[in-house]
Amino acid sequence: MFTVRKDQMIVLEAMALENFMVRLRTQLAGTEDGAATAGRANADALLQEVQAGVALARSFHLKTERDVAALVTMLKNHLGSCAPDLPRPALSILTTWGVAPEDKLRRFAEWASRQPRVVADGQ
């Protein structure tokens, strides 16, 4: 029988989360190797932004990679940042208790699509 200790599980979870954030950064950079193309400083800044976006998504009880990536991508594409200061209507949608993550994301996407797009620096 193979047993994974709690401290091993913590390390494995941290590695998986780091890998997910790097993949999400690459996706948002729009290239196969976002770090090489965007330049190291820009790639590092985008990774920090993704980290903040992932933390924000988790604060709204989004847990799966798919749900977190969907929210972070919508935030970046519609509001210009992975972790913006959200207006009250967006917060109301994302903080509603008892609503499935898919429904929160659908409602947020509908709200975000009605907002003027914000173009981030460098885009």
Query: What would the pLDDT profile of 31-83 be if each residue is shown by its tens digit?
Result: 544 445 556 778 889 999 999 999 999 999 999 999 999 999 999 999 999 99
Rounded Cα distance between 75 and 6, Å, is 34
**CB count, 10 Å around CB of 52?**
16
Is residue 34 within 8 A of residue 72, CB to CB? The reply is no
Q: Which domain holds residue 31?
A: 6-113
pTM score, two decimals? 0.83
Q: Is residue 119 part of a domain?
A: no
Residue 23 in any domain: the answer is: yes
Question: Is 120 a domain residue?
Answer: no
Residue 1 falls inside a structural domain: no
95 occurs within a structural domain: yes
Work out the percent of the chain whose per-residue pLDDT is above 70. 88
- 76 in a structural domain: yes
On whether residue 118 sits in a domain, the answer given is no
Number of domains in the chain: 1
Instruction: Check residue 115 and give left, alpha or beta (phi > 0: left; psi -120 to 50: alpha).
Output: beta
Whether 66 is in a domain gets the answer: yes
Q: Which residues contact 74 (CB under 8 A, 6 or more apart)?
A: 105, 108, 109, 112
